[in-house]
Structures are given as C-alpha cells and as structure tokens.
Structure 1
Amino acid sequence: MKVLILGATGFIGLPAAGALVRAGHIVYGLARSESKAMVLAAEEIIPVRGDMDSDAWLPLIATLDVIIEAVTASPDGARNTFERTIKAAEALRPPTAPLLTYIYTSGTWVHGDSRTEVFTDTTPVIRPVELVAWRPAVEQMIVRSTAVNGVVVRPALLYGRSASLLVSLFKSAAEGKAICIGTPGGRYAVIHADDLADLYVRVAEKSSLLGGKILVAANSQTESVDDLLRKLVQVSGAKSYEYRAPENKFEEAMQATTLVRPLPGECIVGLGAEEARSR
C-alpha cells in the first residue's frame, strides 16, 4: 500500500509511520521543515515538505491507498483537511480507482467524564468533555462519507517513548511534589504508542472491511490515578503528591475518567475477509 500520514513527526504519527514501513508499505510523511524531513528520511519514511495548509501533499492522492490524519486539533482544521482531500480525490483519481481510505484520529475524551459508566466502540457519544465537544460531528462526517472509505480511531491517553500528556505531573514530581489535576479515585484509559502504531497498521491493511467504523484504541483495563501517584513518588524521590482543581479546558479533559473497553471480537482488523464475513 501507499500511505500518507499527516502529522508524521508527532507522538502518534511517527510510531505509526515506522510501523507501516516495517510492515512493507510505502509511507509518505508531511514535514514542515528540513530538519523534520531529515528525521522522516532517517526512518525510511518519504518526506513531503509542506504543512497542512499547503498543496504539497494533494497530488499524492492520485495513487494513494490510505491517508492517516493524526494532527488537527480544531474543528475548522479537521473539516478543511477532509474537504480538501475529497476535492483532490474527485479531481485526481481515475473513475475505476477504489475509494481512498481516510483514517481520522479522534480520542476517548469524546465519551466524557464518568466513574460509573463503561464505554465501548459502539456506545453513543452523549457528553463529551468540552475541549473536544466538536469532534463527534467531525467523526460522523468522515464515517458517513460516500466519497472516501472513512474510519475513525479513538486513542486513549498515550504513553511510552517521548509521548505523554502528563509531562507537567512528571516535572512537578522532579521538583519535589507531584501535582495532579483532579480528585482522588480517578482512572486513566491508556495505550502505549507502539500498540497504537500497530493498530493503525491493522486498520490500514483491513480498511476495506472497516469503512464506516469507529474503533476505541485502549488497553483492556484502565489505570488507577492514585496508584500511579504513589508509584511516581516512590520512583522519583518526590516527598509527596497532591491534587488540585483544573483551571482550564485542557486540564478539565485531563482529569476526566473514561472507562473504555474495546469490544472483544468486535474489532476485525486481525481477521481475514472470510472469517470476518462468517461473524
């Protein structure tokens, strides 16, 4: 396959690009600078110089199999990127070409904050956290499109390698006291960067079976925030830890407990076509 990753130098995009290369695919990555292009080239990812608003990546759509969008953090940016993709596909791809697969990266925060409800791949989104309240509409725009083969992946809190949204927590621990946003009793839904990368490979390779699907990308169990803080104090040498209330929309999202469970047997990315149909 030929795959383009938008956001190829990021916490999500770079591991995914590397995993696709190792799986034998031709992988292009958008790079905003020469230094980032060199990072991609060193990992055998073909760099495309430009940013999301440039036209540098659009000609590739003529022969691509898959686009993985792992960068936009705004409703206007997400819609603009998707609409430009559709327009380019209609103009550049021959009538006999199969639908281009478009994999959009969302997140489990769309399920909101609850310490009692358990959410799965098929749970309707009702109360997303405010920071990402716009994402469900974008998800539906993609999975209901007839112009592309749309798939949505909802990663949980990313950890591993250089990726972590908990950097402020680790920094505070290094300074002597771990400061955590939220209240006692919370839990984090998490996924390692390499496991998420492996999922993107499987989704891309089985995308003909997954059009219109929304997939939760998370470990099979959540992690206790209290346990994490106790262990962090132990290994970091911090004197203690404490909680504080969120002060902005991002911190409100960070303190959310989202109890997600990917449905066993529902994700067909590891199945062959015949086995998938038999289910």
Structure 2
Amino acid sequence: MRVFVAGATGYVGSAVVRELLEAGHKVVGLARSDTSAAALTRVGADVHRGDIEDLGSLCAGAAAADGVIYAANKHISETTDPVARAQAELNAVAVIGSELAGTDKPFVVTSGVIGRTPGRLLTEQTPDVPSALTAPRLPVEKSVIAMSERGVRSSSVRLAPTVHGHGDTRGFISTLIGIAREKGVSAYIGDGSNSWPAVHRLDAATLFRLAVESAPAGTRLHAVAEEGVPFRDIATTIGRRLELPAISLTAEQASSHFSFLAPLVSIDSPTSSTLTRARLGWLPTHPGLIADIEEGHYFEQ
C-alpha cells in the first residue's frame, strides 16, 4: 500500500512510518519543514510538503494514497488551546474524508482514552459521554467514524495517555519527571490508587499498521497494553530513579504542584483492549510502563 501519514515525524508518527516501511508498505509523510523532510528521507519515506492547516496539501496527499493515517497530535501544554486544536484537526480530517469518500480506502485517525469514563472500565463499545476534558476532540473521532457510511474504511486508534518509550521528551512521563526535578519531590494525589493505561510506542505503531491494513469500517481500537498502572507506582518509580521522596498531595495542592496537568493526575481511567486484540490479533510485546521507566532512558539529560 501507498500510505499517506500526517504527523509522520512526531513521536508516535515516526514509529508508525518505520513500522509501515518494515512491513513493505510505501510511505509518504507530511512535512512542514526541511528538518522534517530530511528525517523522512533518511528512513526511506517519500516527502509531501505541507501541514495540517494546509487543506489543499492534505487533499492532494490523500488523493494519491491507498490509505491515510492521521497521527498528528499536539502535546498538551500550558499554551495549548484545546478548542482551536480540535477545530484545526476537524477541518483536516474533513477534507481527507471528502477525498476518500466512495473509495473504500482506509483512513485511521488518532484519538485518546483518558477521562472518557472516569472510575469505570472503558471498552471499545462504551458509549461516548462528553466531559469538559473530552468534549473538544470527540467531534474529530466521531466525524471519521461516520465516514464509514460514505464509503471510507475509517477507524480510530485511541492511544493510552502514557505512550512511553525511547524518544519521549514531551509526553506525560517526561513531563512528570521534569516536575519532580523542579519541585524536589515526586507526587501523587491522595492514596495514588487511580490508574492510567499505558502502551509502548512501538506496540502502538504496530496497531496503526494493523488498522490501515485490515480494520473494518467504523472500528474503534484501543492502543492499550496495560489496563491501568496505579499513579502511585508511577510517582514512586520516578522518585526512586531521581533519589527524591514520593509524597501524597491533597486535591487542593495539585494545581500548584502539577500546573496544567492538575486536572489529569487524579483521574482513574482503566481501559480495556480485549476487543482490539481479538479483532486484529494485536499482541503488545514491548516493556510495560514501570519497566520502561526503570530502564533509565527517561533520565538521561
């Protein structure tokens, strides 16, 4: 297949590109800079210049492809505008979907699982209930899934919040490590029993490949290798590696300690990937979150 990948040089997208190439597919990556273009060329992918706000470029890239993976994803930060981010993504997937309509070509979009059903197990079949956390991006996933009714083999790969592995410099784990270094303690909220699902970057990349190859139209897939890792265990492991104490904070103390991450650190977000594994034969094989943190690469400066 000739696969057009948006977000091809990002943390997850670059792993997806390599996974596709190693499986024998031809990859065309979206690149908005010379640096990104060079990175794609080095690994053997073709370059398509543009970005997710260049709708004409997206349309042209999709038209020349046998399938599309939208792996572009802006990291959550203090400067992220979730509404503007969601609208830009909604515009981008809409033009791709219009180009693919009636072709039965695959279109895989990136989404997430955190905060969808706080305190309850999320499955691939759980109905969507918008919350303040999830509402801005739900329309993006919904619009792509709905394309299955317009002759597009559309699917959504919902990533665990902790997509971990080598090269993670701006994700949740690296951010938590940075906060711990700054504050001198590694913290969790309350008893820290709330859990976050996790997946290794390379296992996530395999799922994207499987999705573009064979996911049925309208499929929701969970890139979740571990159903839930207690946040206390994450904080304790980070503290031990940094030789800092791991401490409990109250909910009121979370804002000053975790800043923009405060609304997320106390969420309990257990997530199942049982249906995904059965449907596509996906089998995660890389280290789990705690083992990956223990390897030490997150602490190399």
1:78 alignment partner in structure 2: 89
| 1:26-79 C-alpha deviation (Å, 9 max, x unpaired) | 011111110111111111121222111223343232331211112255331122
- Is the Cα–Cα contact under 8 Å of residues 34 and 49 in structure 1 kept in the other structure? no
Partner in structure 2 of residue 194 of structure 1: 202
Alpha-carbon offset, residue 212 of structure 1: 0.6
Residue 184 (structure 2) aligns with:
177
User: How many residues get paired?
Assistant: 260
Which residue number corresponds to residue 299 of structure 2? none
Deviation of 1:110 (Å): 5.1
Equivalences for residues 33-182 of structure 1 within 5 A: 33-54=33-54, 55-72=56-73, 74-89=85-100, 98-109=103-114, 111-114=116-119, 117-128=120-131, 130-145=132-147, 146-147=149-150, 148-157=152-161, 158-163=163-168, 164-175=171-182, 177-180=184-187, 182=189
Check conservation: 2:187, 2:246, Cα contact below 8 A.
Answer: no
Counterpart among 244, 257, 272 of residue 238 in structure 1:
244
Residue identity in the other structure for 1:256: I
Q: Where do 5+ consecutive residues of structure 1 fail to align?
A: 272-279
Root-mean-square deviation over aligned CA pairs: 2.4
Counterpart code for 2:111: S
TM-score by length of 1: 0.83
Any stretches of 5+ residues in structure 2 without a counterpart? 75-84, 283-301
CA distance in 1, matches of 2:115, 2:141: 10
**Aligned in 2, Cα 1:172/1:59: closer, same or farther, shift over 3 Å?**
closer
The alpha-carbon deviation at position 193 of structure 1 amounts to 0.4
Rate the CA distance shift 1:60–1:51 in 2: closer, same or farther, 3 A.
Answer: closer
Are 1:121 and 1:262, in contact at CA under 8 Å, matched by a contact in 2?
yes
CA distance in 1, matches of 2:46, 2:8: 10
Distance in structure 2 (CA, Å) of the matches to 1:53 and 1:72: 13
2:104 counterpart SS class: coil
Identity %: 22
Aligned match of 2:294: none
Q: Which has the higher helix share?
A: 2
The partner residue of 1:217 within 213, 218, 223 is: 223
- Which residue type is aligned with residue 167 of structure 1? S
What TM-score, normalized to structure 2?
Answer: 0.78
Q: Give a deviation string over 1:141-189, Cα, whole Å, max 9, x none.
A: 2112233221011110211112232323212333572344644222111
Residue of structure 1 in register with 2:272 after alignment: 261
Aligned-partner Cα distance in 2 for 1:71–1:217: 16
C-alpha change, 1:265 and 1:60, in structure 2 (3 Å) is closer
